[in-house]
Amino acid sequence: MGALHAGHISLLQSSTNENDISVCSIFVNPVQFTNPQDLEKYPRTFENDCRMLEDAGCSAVFAPSVDEMYEETPLMKLNFGVLETVMEGASRPGHFNGVGIVVSRFFNIVQPDRAYFGQKDLQQVAVVKRLVKDLAFQLELRVCPTVRETDGLAMSSRNSRLNSQERDAAPFIYQMLSEAKANLEKGIEVSEVVDLVQKHFLSNSKFQLDYFEIANADSLQPLDTIGGAGSNAICIAAFLGPVRLIDNIIF
């Protein structure tokens, strides 16, 4: 959706390494926003985005207007079942319907052989995987690792909305993910780890925790006990000031 950073560019670099032509879409999709103020405040840096993409070897930028993408308000509703009943889906009803609609349109218009998504939006990745499978899109989905700042904060367009004090506090989210992972690997019960993280957030007045979940990395359903290697996801969403940040670790 624009406001590009090194994490986005890493997706483009993965594409340019594997394909002759790489297309990047830039479109702030109104259909996936459940909060009108969030849509209004979403950072828009189109000219700088285009410079970054050109420098990184992007072949073409697909940047339609809202009227071009949605001549009429879409009537179709997509239901992703249990995938949208938890975490982002529970906090933002209707969000993944909007994601599914716009991604389907991008796939139909551009007709890519491969599509690149970042792990930071883990639930979006799961939804798009389901979309590709159920609607038989003839493409390969690539999931690329989350790119982080040196202090661990996951790169996000929303980070630009943090003031200096909030930016200094923001790595707390990754610290909580890392602490939870270490505790789970020590054999501490899932419920105890969840309680501990929730208490840490209650004691940190800068944050308002939206959710903290330990879930299956594919279905995103909550776990009572952790599974095998690579099958577990620790997911978090929290408000820091007015800005909502998400992050996750898979282990």
pLDDT in tens, 116-127: 999 999 999 999
pTM as predicted:
0.93
**5 tagged catalytic:** no
pLDDT 10s digits, 177-210: 999 999 999 999 999 999 999 999 999 999 999 9
Residue 91: predicted pLDDT: 92
Residue 173 has pLDDT above 90, yes or no: yes
pLDDT at res. 170: 98
pLDDT of residue 22: 98
Distances (CA, A) of 2 to 68, 147, 221: 17, 16, 30
* Active-site pick, 5, 8, 95, 200: 8
pLDDT, mean of residues 43-70? 97
Q: What mean pLDDT do residues 40-59 have?
A: 96
- Sorted by where each begins, the domain ranges of the chain are 6-144, 157-250
Which pLDDT belongs to residue 34?
87
Q: How confident is the model at residue 21 (pLDDT cuts 50, 70, 90)?
A: very high
Give the confidence band of 24 by pLDDT, cuts at 50, 70, 90. Answer: very high
Cβ–Cβ under 8 Å, residues 99 and 32: yes
Q: Which CATH architecture has domain 6-144?
A: 3-Layer(aba) Sandwich (3.40)
Burial class (CB in 10 A: 0-12, 13-18, 19+), 97: buried
Comparing CA positions, the residue from 192, 197, 159, 195 lying closest to residue 178 is 197
Roughly what angle, to the nearest 10 degrees, separates helices 122-134 and 95-110? 60
Distance separating alpha carbons of residues 136 and 205, to the nearest angstrom: 46
Superfamily of domain 157-250: Pantoate-beta-alanine ligase, C-terminal domain (3.30.1300.10)
Q: What contacts 96, CB < 8 A, 6 or more positions away? A: 32, 78, 80, 83, 84, 88, 89, 123, 124, 127
Same fold, 6-144 and 157-250: no
Give the closest residue to 172 by CA, choosing from 117, 121, 239. 239
Q: What are phi and psi of 177, to 5 degrees?
A: -60, -45
